[in-house]
Chains A and B, each alone.
Chain A
């Protein structure tokens, strides 16, 4: 008995060895910052180290929840992220269904190639592009609007328009990716279903409605449920590079608030508290989302 145990451990030893570098990395750079969460309960003094600063209980959280704009920031986050999630299902599913109707292979491939490209460009590059083309004075979009007799729109400077600009530009970047995912799901539909439907006299629309759409419903439900876990992620990379004090009222989100409070204003304790609040709520939502996805779409990650 003792001998088989040694053999087993020897057999498993290389597996531990393989994991070792990644485990160290995760301990330092992922679990390490989790220890740093104690700062949320401290008045962080520079140079005092992680446990040298005075403990102040929940004061940082009280301060955060009394900030006049905090609830607005949460609302902005959920509003922008929610709209992105909804549009992020409707647009790619529609485009995938439309592409599925195209008979010309060349046309289909060209469209796919073009709409998929922005997915791989960073928000730095895209922000550079959008700031230029959306400029109210000499941006090409507003020049076009003026040419057809419309008033110029301050896409990035008007706080009533800004959230919608974020949703639109985000869809512009990401719908091609979603389209490809749904197209892949479409190819898995059993072709004999279409044959049977044709024999029964179903027309093109009826086939789409009763075969194609239900065929990708599993994927739609899965991706929608999983996006629930992201409802507090309104897109830091995008908003940080496109917003300005002019649009803080509707455009400031949790992540940008954390950045400004912590990195720009050195309020480490307060910023950590906001970050912790977000992490905990997100974790709960992810848990719920996975439970739902497992229940409705039989989804498992491992």
Chain B
């Protein structure tokens, strides 16, 4: 907000706020509607009475979902991939960003490696050769296929390289005078100064892991190894009777399919909603910190 800018005439100010308010409502409404559906009774949901408030409030759908072992297992796999995959990605990001942030005098092969990693973003073998490689490496159907192949987020490396380069050189030079090695400079000088951007990148990697679904679908043969988003793909978006147990089918007769779908969608959103305040706070700072200056 720029305090110096002239204010709008009052009537336009109101029009402006009404339009923006409507936009915000359009964004919020679908999410509120799904939340309301998940807390409504099956009859209310099916008769189209529910808008943004639950009707015949009930937690039955949530109870059904939480008692479904397949859902709980998929939720656990997603949690695991976030907890295991995020640290691996962050360690790799830091270890790659440091050498690439050196100038050519200090690291003669720097430009070669910049291109080595950049090429992986610019060009890819495509879906089928990728699938074949994963199969060759024996990772198909293994949890590690969700964590290892995509462990280096090159875009995050770029942000961190730019951030490192904006830290005053004098700090490193002083440390180097005292005989600091590259490891010392990275871990004792640069990283302690980079905590905010590291927090930002960590959050983004974690959200990325939580939201990934295609790798699970492509690389896992059995649905009991699916992370939550892939599991939801097969039960909500693209329902396949093979994946529904008899218990599921029987219970679905009693509880509306629609309200349980809504409950599953909402539960999958909860982790994002929990970290959302942090995402919002760090995003702009992270973006600005990693941008190029000079």
Contacts of B107 in A (CB 8 A): 12, 15
* Chain B nearest CB, measured from A120 CB (Å): 5
Q: Which residue of the partner chain, among A16, A117, A131, A302, contacts B114 with CB atoms under 8 Å?
A: A302
Contacts of B134 in A (CB 8 A): 29
User: CB distance B27 to A100 under 8 Å?
Assistant: no
* Chain A nearest CB, measured from B207 CB (Å): 6
B279-292 contact mask (Cβ, 8 Å, vs A): 1 or 0: 11001100110001
User: CB distance A23 to B130 under 8 Å?
Assistant: no
Which residues 33-49 in B have Cβ within 8 Å of A in the complex? 33-34, 37, 46, 48
B104-126 contact mask (Cβ, 8 Å, vs A): 1 or 0: 00111100011011111011111
User: CB distance B127 to A128 under 8 Å?
Assistant: no
* Chain A nearest CB, measured from B234 CB (Å): 10
Q: Given known contacts A26-B116, A36-B129, is B34 in contact with A15 (CB within 8 Å)?
A: no
* Chain A nearest CB, measured from B126 CB (Å): 3
Task: Check if B82 is an interface residue, CB within 8 A of chain A.
Answer: no
Task: Check if B188 is an interface residue, CB within 8 A of chain A.
Answer: no
User: CB distance B124 to A262 under 8 Å?
Assistant: no
Q: Given known contacts A35-B125, A194-B6, is B265 in contact with A128 (CB within 8 Å)?
A: yes
Q: Nearest chain-B residue to A110 (Cβ)?
A: B24
- What CA separation (Å) do A180 and B31 show in the bound complex? 21
Interface size class of B (residues with CB under 8 A): 35 or more
Contacts of A237 in B (CB 8 A): 213-214
User: CB distance A117 to B276 under 8 Å?
Assistant: yes
Task: Check if B87 is an interface residue, CB within 8 A of chain A.
Answer: no
Contacts of B253 in A (CB 8 A): none
User: CB distance A100 to B2 under 8 Å?
Assistant: yes
Contacts of A89 in B (CB 8 A): none
Contacts of A268 in B (CB 8 A): 128, 132
Which of B53-61, B64-72, B92-100 is found at the contact surface with chain A? B92-100
Which of B145-153, B166-174, B190-198, B240-248 is found at the contact surface with chain A? B145-153
Q: Given known contacts A29-B133, A33-B133, is B95 in contact with A22 (CB within 8 Å)?
A: yes
Contacts of B30 in A (CB 8 A): 129-130, 133
Task: Check if A151 is an interface residue, CB within 8 A of chain B.
Answer: no
Task: Check if B233 is an interface residue, CB within 8 A of chain A.
Answer: yes
Contacts of B162 in A (CB 8 A): 302
- What CA separation (Å) do A13 and B221 show in the bound complex? 42
Contacts of B118 in A (CB 8 A): 301
* Chain B nearest CB, measured from A34 CB (Å): 5
User: CB distance A100 to B292 under 8 Å?
Assistant: no
Q: Given known contacts A19-B113, A143-B48, A275-B128, is B23 in contact with A115 (CB within 8 Å)?
A: yes
* Chain B nearest CB, measured from A5 CB (Å): 11
* Chain B nearest CB, measured from A166 CB (Å): 15
Task: Check if B76 is an interface residue, CB within 8 A of chain A.
Answer: no
User: CB distance A140 to B33 under 8 Å?
Assistant: yes
User: CB distance A133 to B218 under 8 Å?
Assistant: no
Q: Which residue of the partner chain, among A21, A100, A102, A236, contacts B92 with CB atoms under 8 Å?
A: A21
- What CA separation (Å) do A241 and B265 show in the bound complex? 14
A168-185 contact mask (Cβ, 8 Å, vs B): 1 or 0: 000010001000110010
Q: Given known contacts A23-B116, A302-B162, is B152 in contact with A204 (CB within 8 Å)?
A: no
Chain A facing B: main interface SS: helix
User: CB distance B149 to A111 under 8 Å?
Assistant: no
* Chain B nearest CB, measured from A195 CB (Å): 5
- What CA separation (Å) do A50 and B186 show in the bound complex? 41
Task: Check if A83 is an interface residue, CB within 8 A of chain B.
Answer: no
User: CB distance A278 to B6 under 8 Å?
Assistant: no
Task: Check if B229 is an interface residue, CB within 8 A of chain A.
Answer: yes
Q: Nearest chain-B residue to A299 (Cβ)?
A: B292
User: CB distance A125 to B120 under 8 Å?
Assistant: no
Which residues 2-19 in A have Cβ within 8 Å of B in the complex? 11-12, 14-16, 18-19
A129-147 contact mask (Cβ, 8 Å, vs B): 1 or 0: 1111100001010010000
* Chain A nearest CB, measured from B170 CB (Å): 19
Task: Check if B252 is an interface residue, CB within 8 A of chain A.
Answer: no
Going nearest first, the 7 A-B pairs with the smallest beta carbon separation are A36-B129, A275-B126, A33-B125, A122-B211, A30-B120, A33-B129, A15-B99
Given contacts A129-B31, A237-B213, A262-B127, 13 further A-B contacts (CB under 8 A): A12-B106, A32-B136, A33-B124, A37-B125, A122-B210, A122-B211, A127-B237, A132-B34, A138-B48, A204-B12, A241-B233, A259-B127, A275-B126
14 contacts between A and B (CB under 8 A): A16-B109, A22-B95, A22-B152, A34-B125, A35-B125, A36-B130, A98-B16, A100-B1, A104-B17, A133-B30, A204-B6, A241-B237, A258-B127, A275-B129
